[in-house]
Amino acid sequence: MSQRNQTLGGPIVRQALKESVLKLDPRVMIRNPVMFVVEIGFAVMLLLIAVPDAFGGGAPVWFNVAVAVILLVTLLFANFAEALAEGRGKAQADSLKRSKRDVVAYRESGSGGLKEVPASELRKGDLVRVEAGQWIPGDGEVVEGLASVDESAITGESAPVIKEAGGDFSSVTGGTKVLSDWIRVRMTSDPGESFLDRMIALVEGAKRQKTPNEIALSTVLTSLTLIFLMVVATLPFLGGYLGVPLEVPVLIALLVCLIPTTIGGLLSAIGIAGMDRVTQFNVIAMSGKAVEAAGDINTIILDKTGTITFGNRMASEFVSVGGWSETAVAEWALAGSLQDETPEGRSVVELARRMGIAGDPSLAQSGEWIEFRAETRMSGIDLQDGRSVRKGSVDAVKTWVRQKGGSIPDDLDAKSDRIASAGGTPLAVALDERIVGLIYLKDTVKPGMKERFEQMRQMGIRTIMCTGDNPLTAQTIAREAGVDDFIAESRPEDKIAVIKREQAQGKLVAMTGDGTNDAPALAQADVGIAMNSGTVAAKEAANMVDLDSDPSKIIEVVSIGKQLLMTRGALTTFSIANDVAKYFAIIPAMFMAAIPQMDALNVMRLDSPMSAILSALIFNAVIIPLLIPLAMKGVAYKAQSSARLLRRNLLVYGLGGVIVPFAGIKLIDLAVMWMV
Ligand SMILES: Nc1ncnc2c1ncn2[C@@H]1O[C@H](COP(=O)(O)OP(=O)(O)OP(=O)(O)O)[C@@H](O)[C@H]1O
Ligand SMILES: [K+]
Ligand SMILES: [Mg+2]
């Protein structure tokens, strides 16, 4: 698993500093109502500095200037947090843009020749040929050939990957380079709509939309701000009644301290950083909503082949049944696989060839090829002489043979069960109404799977393996890998049914997959993670793409999602708890002159009313940059139940949020007292 390690270097920080100033534009600021109120406060302070008795006030000029400066710094800090969070994505977008080049493509013309055209002229459906050393001109699907491709521009992974026609490894991405051999590619996107284009827009945050969660929280924060605005607006009347004159700068300082500026200033940074953390893990999330949904996932649906197992299901043995010879099995398996472009099909051809079985190539040319489909679970050939060869899942082939009036050899079940209980996939081979034998497709469970699933259990997530394979193989692999449940012989529509069933129980479902047959289910799931190695259909249906094609990474995605939700919750708790402490700093200071009893509330024993107000305001500002690292990195997350996490966070950030400002404001007060 590769992890992009992009640190927040000098250029990103410098750019963020510049952006912090640009973001002061009120048209930008109004999108964040809490900070917009601070900006209005700043504007009023500027007016007061220019016209000191605008409100008939009597606060000293230095105090007005100090409040104005602190408010400006507060705004800049909040802007800096957001700009810094955006910075890494922008830097990544820049490096992706560099890999976008207008290359030459060799498009097939009607007459059968190749025509040189700029890649920007290619349209969906065009066929191109790409040879070793050439750039792939756009997104597409390999329709012929096999090549090793350097995808490092997109995945950051330097090891070349194999792309081949048929099967789940047929999609290619524009901006990657063919290293050896050649491929014929059908373009699947028009210029400007490629995966690279979408990826650039995403990491750049160009189309960033607030998630439903963020909108809900913003609404709460805005309401709180309005409430405090009303409270502060009534204070002058109260002050008048008590005979305490309340200065405008003091009221503004109080308002800014009371409204949730800490979370208001960090909210968008938290969201952006969460998406960015996913990107660091080489997963491209199409929306922040998908990342958040990942944090609330209850059930994960995984397919077996290529997800839990290595997926290079290789033919390792031909097993005869019903008295046929092993050679006969190999011969018919070969005949039924000569044009099977799937990895399984090719491995059958390879095994037969290794056994020295030549086969009859004219068979393949003369017959009608029956392509493998997940729905039929069979492939094979209808020969010109009327005979038919089929290979496929034992159940499917049995049904096919029975339909032709054949009978099932007595030793078939025992032999196929032996393969299945070893975790292998048995494929039955039939010639017309006779089953001649079995192909033993071997596959191995990836190491560390048990631990990964145990981790998910601790997070309270149920794992279900959905496989097209037979029940016995499924059971063996399920037990070996340690998933909670499994569903065998599932067709694409069954996968959707499982997801819908879980969703109907109010659960959020994640699904990983790579095949075209997974696409509908990937679209139905709340979080669909497609493997980058997978088909175009899978990648288009999903709302996340894992560039490393490592399905177990869903654990990291879930952790990041949970961390994002927790960070937002923790900092909201901290922010609101904080404001309570500021209340105790400012209110006594405001009324102390008129009501000496107020001194009892002055628990912090702050030096003077003015230093108390300034200290609270300074604390209110500096807490924002102090929390930027936490907002960006996220709060610590350990796999445990949500209830325990919630309790722990309430304690740490709620109680901490009340206590920290007392200490902080007191310290600042000591410093301010010394200066004033
Ligand atoms: N090339 C092939 N020719 C004939 N039958 C095949 C071929 N490939 C697979 N099968 C059979 O079809 C079944 C379904 O295969 P498929 O690859 O669709 O599984 P799946 O639904 O993707 O689930 P998983 O990936 O977990 O196996 C396999 O279990 C196997 O019995
Ligand atoms: K505040
Ligand atoms: Mg599959």
Domains of the chain from N-terminus onward: 10-92+203-279+558-673 (no CATH), 286-308+446-547 (3.40.50.1000), 313-444 (3.40.1110.10)
Confidence of residue 580 (pLDDT cuts 50, 70, 90): confident
Please state the φ and ψ torsions of residue 512, each to the nearest 5 degrees. -115, 150
Rounded-to-integer distance, Cα 275 and Cα 265, Å: 18
- For ligand 2, the distance from its centroid to the CA atom of residue 255, given in whole angstroms, is 8
> Which ligand has its closest atom nearest to the C-alpha of 169?
3
Tell me the average pLDDT of the chain.
Answer: 88
* Residue-by-residue DSSP string for 618-651: HHHHHHHHHHHHHHHH-----S--HHHHHHHHII
Residue 162 has pLDDT above 50, yes or no: yes
Confidence of residue 531 (pLDDT cuts 50, 70, 90): confident
Work out whether strand 177-187 and strand 314-320 pair parallel, antiparallel, or are unpaired.
unpaired
Which residues, other chains included, contact 258 with Cβ-Cβ below 8 Å and sequence gap of 6+? 228, 231, 232, 579, 582, 583
**Closest atom, ligand 1, to C-alpha of 518:** 22
Check pocket membership of 469 for ligand 1, CB cut-off 6 A.
yes
From 341, 427, 483, give the residue whose CB has the most ligand 1 atoms within 8 Å, as the site to mutate.
427
**Closest atom, ligand 1, to C-alpha of 396:** 31
**Closest atom, ligand 1, to C-alpha of 393:** 31
User: Region 473-497: what's the mean pLDDT?
Assistant: 92
* Dihedral angle sign, alpha carbons of residues 61, 67, 71, 74: positive
Q: 374 a known binding residue?
A: yes
Q: 344 a known binding residue?
A: yes
From 170, 305, 347, give the residue whose CB has the most ligand 1 atoms within 8 Å, as the site to mutate.
305
Strand, coil or helix: what is 86? Answer: helix
Residue 2 has pLDDT above 60, yes or no: no
Confidence of residue 240 (pLDDT cuts 50, 70, 90): confident
Least confident of 41-45, 515-519, 580-584: 580-584
Q: 518 a known binding residue?
A: yes
Q: What are residue 79's DSSP bridge partners?
A: none
Rounded-to-integer distance, Cα 668 and Cα 658, Å: 16
So what's the pLDDT on residue 474? 95
Residue 353 has pLDDT above 70, yes or no: yes
So what's the pLDDT on residue 8? 62
CB 435 within 8 A of CB 378: no
Residue type, 444: T
Q: 514 a known binding residue?
A: yes
Residue 593 has pLDDT above 70, yes or no: no
Check pocket membership of 390 for ligand 1, CB cut-off 6 A.
no
Residues near ion ligand 3 (Cβ under 5 Å): 303, 305, 515
Confidence of residue 18 (pLDDT cuts 50, 70, 90): very high
Burial, 387: exposed, middle or buried (Cβ in 10 Å; 0-12, 13-18, 19+)? middle
So what's the pLDDT on residue 239? 81
Q: What is the pLDDT of residues 535-568, one digit of tens each?
A: 888 888 999 999 888 877 888 899 899 899 999 9
Please state the φ and ψ torsions of residue 303, each to the nearest 5 degrees. -90, 165
Q: What is the pLDDT of residues 83-100, one digit of tens each?
A: 999 988 888 888 778 777
So what's the pLDDT on residue 381? 94
Q: Ligand 1: which residue has its CA nearest to atom 22?
A: 468
- For ligand 1, the distance from its centroid to the CA atom of residue 530, given in whole angstroms, is 18
Q: How far is CA 577 from the centre of its chain?
A: 31
Closest-CA residue to 430 (of 472, 478, 378, 364): 378
Check pocket membership of 303 for ligand 1, CB cut-off 6 A.
yes
**Tokens read off for 511:** 């699904």
So what's the pLDDT on residue 307? 79
User: Region 93-114: what's the mean pLDDT?
Assistant: 82
Check pocket membership of 515 for ligand 1, CB cut-off 6 A.
yes
- For ligand 2, the distance from its centroid to the CA atom of residue 593, given in whole angstroms, is 25
> Which ligand has its closest atom nearest to the C-alpha of 225?
2
Q: 375 a known binding residue?
A: yes
Closest-CA residue to 628 (of 51, 85, 67): 85
Rounded-to-integer distance, Cα 177 and Cα 667, Å: 59
Confidence of residue 365 (pLDDT cuts 50, 70, 90): confident
DSSP class of 102: -
Q: What is the pLDDT of residues 187-222, one digit of tens each?
A: 998 888 888 888 888 888 766 778 888 999 999 999
**Tokens read off for 122:** 């290619």
- Count CA atoms within 13 Å of residue 667 on its CB side: 8
So what's the pLDDT on residue 569? 92
Q: How far is CA 434 from the centre of its chain?
A: 49
So what's the pLDDT on residue 444? 84
From 348, 373, 467, give the residue whose CB has the most ligand 1 atoms within 8 Å, as the site to mutate.
467
Angle at 292 between CA 534 and CA 218, to 5 degrees: 145
**Closest atom, ligand 1, to C-alpha of 340:** 1
So what's the pLDDT on residue 5? 46
Check pocket membership of 378 for ligand 1, CB cut-off 6 A.
yes
- For ligand 2, the distance from its centroid to the CA atom of residue 617, given in whole angstroms, is 8
- For ligand 2, the distance from its centroid to the CA atom of residue 201, given in whole angstroms, is 34
Check pocket membership of 392 for ligand 1, CB cut-off 6 A.
yes
CB 654 within 8 A of CB 577: yes
Rounded-to-integer distance, Cα 656 and Cα 462, Å: 34
From 307, 388, 393, 531, give the residue whose CB has the most ligand 1 atoms within 8 Å, as the site to mutate.
393
Give the CA distances from residue 48 to residues 68, 72, 620, in Å, rounded to whole numbers and listed in that order: 9, 15, 22
Show the DSSP H helices in 422-549 as ranges.
449-458, 471-481, 492-504, 519-524, 536-541
Check pocket membership of 344 for ligand 1, CB cut-off 6 A.
yes
Closest-CA residue to 249 (of 78, 55, 77, 73): 55
Q: What are residue 347's DSSP bridge partners?
A: none
**Tokens read off for 599:** 């001194």
So what's the pLDDT on residue 639? 67
Check pocket membership of 548 for ligand 1, CB cut-off 6 A.
no
Check pocket membership of 467 for ligand 1, CB cut-off 6 A.
yes
* Residues present in the chain in total: 676
% of the chain beyond a pLDDT of 90: 53
Confidence of residue 601 (pLDDT cuts 50, 70, 90): low
Rounded-to-integer distance, Cα 620 and Cα 331, Å: 79
Confidence of residue 57 (pLDDT cuts 50, 70, 90): low
CB 170 within 8 A of CB 159: no
So what's the pLDDT on residue 594? 67
Residue 460 has pLDDT above 80, yes or no: yes
Confidence of residue 120 (pLDDT cuts 50, 70, 90): confident
Q: 378 a known binding residue?
A: yes
Check pocket membership of 304 for ligand 1, CB cut-off 6 A.
yes
Rounded-to-integer distance, Cα 579 and Cα 226, Å: 15
Q: What is the pLDDT of residues 381-424, one digit of tens each?
A: 999 888 999 999 999 999 999 999 999 999 999 999 999 999 99
Q: Ligand 1: which residue has its CA nearest to atom 29?
A: 469
- For ligand 3, the distance from its centroid to the CA atom of residue 360, given in whole angstroms, is 30
The larger pLDDT score, comparing residue 3 to residue 87, is at 87
Please state the φ and ψ torsions of residue 360, each to the nearest 5 degrees. -120, 100
**pTM here?**
0.78
So what's the pLDDT on residue 3? 43
So what's the pLDDT on residue 426? 96
Confidence of residue 4 (pLDDT cuts 50, 70, 90): very low
Catalytic residues: 303
